[in-house]
Amino acid sequence: MVGLSVGEKHFIQGGIAQDLRSDGRKRFDYRPISVETGVIPQANGSARVRMGATHVIASVKAELGKPSPLQPDKAKVAIYVDCSPTAAPMFEVGNISLPCDKCHSVYMSSCSLSRSTINYRGRGGEQLSTELSAALQRCLLGGKSGAGAGINLSSLSVVEGKICWDLYVDGLVVSSDGNLLDALGAAIKAALSNTGIPKVHVAVSASADEQPEVDISDEEFLQFDTFGIPVIITLTKVGRHYIIDATSEEEVPNELGYLRFY
């Protein structure tokens, strides 16, 4: 996306100061939101969320694994966000040229002074993916000790110290028009509510050293309790006012902050 001109930035800021955004919304109006669950049949749970032109998909896969020695009674949850290159051209893997540091123009093509091109692979997308993953991890799983976690990890442990469920929560950004964190938070919450963890029967006769035998049931599923999972709402500051659900044009020149709500 080409950057915004100074005139466009002033236009957006002025409009927001008068409680009028480019698409006619007020400062605290959301775009139409649509949520669909069960979009990925082979995952344990999945959801798709659309907020205007922002389109994200979240999927949850559960596998049996060994719990970490520090927290033997808790399951492990890994959250990973991937920005698909379809979302925006800057998210592709490949060589991307850096902004020229001699004349501060945004694209190399408009710089007449420097001919050098610094190449690195896919940094635009990976940086955003890492930021989103870290933010979601903090929101949903709380701090390092597990305090403030949205998911009850102890309920997913099968045999304490030996077997627990590994949950892999994958977010995919298909189309990005601002407010990715809210959309991903909503998608993950919906996907977890759609998730069915198969019931596991543990063989009774197992000694303390051996791995117990487990029988994963195909028929019975446990539903997740998603009451404790937070809904993320991002407030973007534009000029001296705050707005909700910023589009990518409104996000560009401004400082970003987010608050988490239950």
Looking at this protein, which amino acid is placed at residue 97? S
Q: Which is nearer to other proteins, 27 or 55 (CB)?
A: 55
Smallest gap from residue 143 Cβ to other proteins (A): 26
Q: In terms of CB distance, is 109 or 207 closer to other proteins?
A: 109
> Which chain residues interact with other proteins by CB under 8 A?
32, 34, 40-43, 46, 52-53, 55, 57, 59, 61, 63, 80, 82, 84-89, 92-97, 107-109, 117, 121-122, 168, 170, 172, 174-177, 248
- Which of 174/233 has CB closer to other proteins? 174
Least distance (Å) from other proteins to the CB of residue 45? 10
Kindly tell me which of 168 and 242 has the beta carbon lying closer to other proteins. 168
Minimum distance of other proteins from residue 39's CB (angstroms):
8
| Integer CA distances (angstroms), 33 to 22, 54, 253, in order | 18, 10, 25
Select 17 or 117, whichever has its Cβ closest to other proteins: 117
Question: Which C-beta is closer to other proteins: that of 36 or that of 212?
Answer: 36
Q: Whole-number minimum distance, CB 224 to other proteins, in Å?
A: 17
List, as one string, the DSSP characters of the chain: -PPPPHHHHHHHHHHHHTT--TTS--TTPPPPEEEEE---TTSSEEEEEEETTEEEEEEEEEEEEPPPTTSTTS-EEEEEEEE-TTT-GGG-SSEEEPPPTTT--SSGGG-SS-----EEESHHHHHHHHHHHHHHHHHHH-STT-TT-SS-GGGGEEETTTEEEEEEEEEEEEE-SS-HHHHHHHHHHHHHHH-EEEEEEE-S---SSSPPPEEEEEEEEEEP--TTSPEEEEEEEETTEEEES--HHHHTTS-EEEEEE-
CB of 184 to other proteins, least distance (A): 14
Shortest Cβ 241–other proteins spacing (Å): 25
Quick one: 170 or 182, whose CB is closer to other proteins? 170
Residue pair 77/149 in contact by the 8 Å Cβ criterion:
no
Shortest distance (Å) from residue 236 CB to other proteins = 18
CA atoms within 13 A on the CB side of 115: 0
